[in-house]
Amino acid sequence: MRDPSPWVILIPLTSAGFALLLGHRSIARFGVVAAAFTTIASAFLVVDVWRHGTRRYPVGGWDAPLGIELVVDGLAALMIAMTAVVGLLISIYSFRYFSDPPDLTRLRESADVRPSIGEPWGQSRAFWPLWLFLWASINIVFLSGDMFNIYVGLEIMGVSAVALVTLSRGAVATLSATKYLIAAVIGSMLYLMGVAILYASFSTLDLQELSVRIEPGNPATVALVLMSAGLLLKTALFPLHFWLPAAHSAAPAPVSAILSALVIKASFYLFLRLWMDVFMQTTTRSGAVFVGLLATAAIIWGSLQAIRQIRLKPLIAYSTVAQVGYLFLLIPLAVPIATDSWNVSATEGGVYHAISHALAKAAMFLAAGAVMQALGGTDEIGEMAGLAARLPISAFAIGLAGVSLMGLPPSGGYVAKWLMMNAAFDTAQPWWAIIIVVGGGLTAIYMFKFIGLAFRKPVEGSSFLPSSAWLEGPAFILAVLSILVGLRATPIVELLSK
């Protein structure tokens, strides 16, 4: 592989098409192999960027401005790496999750357990093509240097993500998916209108060319507002989060993990890219502070809602609403106050948070899926007393991931919050640091609500089915990674500067 950048898109894309032809038995094996190859290509790409810095790949040999370029800088490489690690572990988990129906009948009869969501067993023929398409589209959004190409990536991402939610059978999942689709479509249409206005005014679609040609003024401002609104809706920043808790909790566990860990990161990445590169001259302090206020509301509202939940998956989903707030806190911290340049420490903190949240949240949703299967399909937290004794690996995975979300040292979440607080004091805006600390406290409340119960004695007559290492293993590895990523911060921050 002389230049690995096209392969991280081509491998999942072609495998997705090929997977449509496969039968029920072979498709899961094929899917995991395709995921492994995508991960290998991603690793080559990251090493390449690490050694040689920013990479440009003209698709089909046509240079910009005529052709479409794939551009990989440190930020894009980090996002590709994050997607590869999380994606591979979710793929291993899904190998069993979608093919083997657990033996629930015995438990159902004895304990009268009602499943909280529909059952995804036997859906592997639908899951693997959609997941591979989704992976390809996420990588398109990260790598493409062309505004319109990114729009196509966003649409593939939206449609395959919504289709994945419908793998949970039942009315609740279909209704959540419908709402999700409407939100996704409004988001991408706002983005497309922004692209059209930019092309009409500056005659280019190339991100780099555009950041040179763009001039502050009405067209740039209108495009910035439309595109930002669309991407905020897709990333589910308060108050545009209304679709997220339903969709993320109704989806099958591996899909919830994909949506919360990766899909919202792609639209967040694009938002960051636009504000940092293209619209650098167009953005204003007041706009950045406005985003910061929404982020603050998201942290507080999402955490309070998470505390109120009585089911585990909605709790984790509301936690995502709150954590999205942290991602966007980087905007008021990074957008220069006077004539200074974009604050690097804030960007590092935000990106670090994106990565550690992806690992921790994927771990939580995967572990929650394992717990739900062991409980016969319910995710009511009240049923989970004694979890730590019966499913210690899953309980420990959720606990470890919680440590990272709370931002306790030495986790990845701690490094992210530390970098962001540094930026808050550097730029003399200490009030954002207060919000970071308060949010951490609220996270601790909803995490301990679960952990406290899990470590209690099991209720008389409660029965847990044994779980499988195929399900608990990937969740546990992700949780451990969300801590480890805090111990080796230097290479990640260094890669970001490439």
Positions that interact with other proteins (CB under 8 A): 148, 152, 155, 158-159, 162-163, 166, 170-172, 174-175, 177-179, 181-182, 185-186, 189-190, 192-193, 195-197, 199-200, 205
Ramachandran category for residue 264: left, alpha or beta (phi over 0 → left; psi -120 to 50 → alpha): alpha
- Closest contact distance (angstroms) between CB of 192 and other proteins is 6
- Closest contact distance (angstroms) between CB of 243 and other proteins is 11
- Closest contact distance (angstroms) between CB of 411 and other proteins is 35
Which SS3 state, helix, strand or coil, does residue 341 take?
coil
- Our measurement of the distance from residue 182's CA atom to the centroid of its chain's CA atoms, rounded to an integer in Å, reads 19
- Closest contact distance (angstroms) between CB of 200 and other proteins is 4
CB of 381 or CB of 435, closer to other proteins: 381
Distance separating alpha carbons of residues 24 and 125, to the nearest angstrom? 6
User: C-alpha angle with apex 420: 416 to 424, nearest 5 degrees?
Assistant: 170
Q: Are 80 and 41 in contact (CB under 8 A)?
A: no
54 secondary structure, DSSP code: S
Q: Which residue has the tokens 């920013």?
A: 54
For the packed helices 264-273 and 344-374, what is the interaxial angle rounded to 10 degrees?
170
> Residue 293 has which token pair?
């206020």
- Closest contact distance (angstroms) between CB of 114 and other proteins is 9
User: C-alpha angle with apex 373: 369 to 377, nearest 5 degrees?
Assistant: 100
CB of 170 or CB of 336, closer to other proteins: 170
CB of 86 or CB of 198, closer to other proteins: 198
Burial class (CB within 10 angstroms; exposed 0-12, middle 13-18, buried 19+) of 297: middle
From first CA to last CA, the distance across the chain in angstroms is: 21
- Closest contact distance (angstroms) between CB of 178 and other proteins is 6
CB of 108 or CB of 179, closer to other proteins: 179
- Closest contact distance (angstroms) between CB of 278 and other proteins is 18
> Residue 256 has which token pair?
């919830």
146 secondary structure, DSSP code: B
CB of 197 or CB of 477, closer to other proteins: 197
- Our measurement of the distance from residue 104's CA atom to the centroid of its chain's CA atoms, rounded to an integer in Å, reads 31
| Separate counts of helices (H) and strands (E) for the chain | 21, 2
CB of 113 or CB of 261, closer to other proteins: 113
> Residue 317 has which token pair?
């989903």
Distance separating alpha carbons of residues 274 and 337, to the nearest angstrom? 18
CB of 196 or CB of 297, closer to other proteins: 196
CB of 11 or CB of 130, closer to other proteins: 130
- Closest contact distance (angstroms) between CB of 168 and other proteins is 12
- Closest contact distance (angstroms) between CB of 116 and other proteins is 8
CB of 166 or CB of 482, closer to other proteins: 166
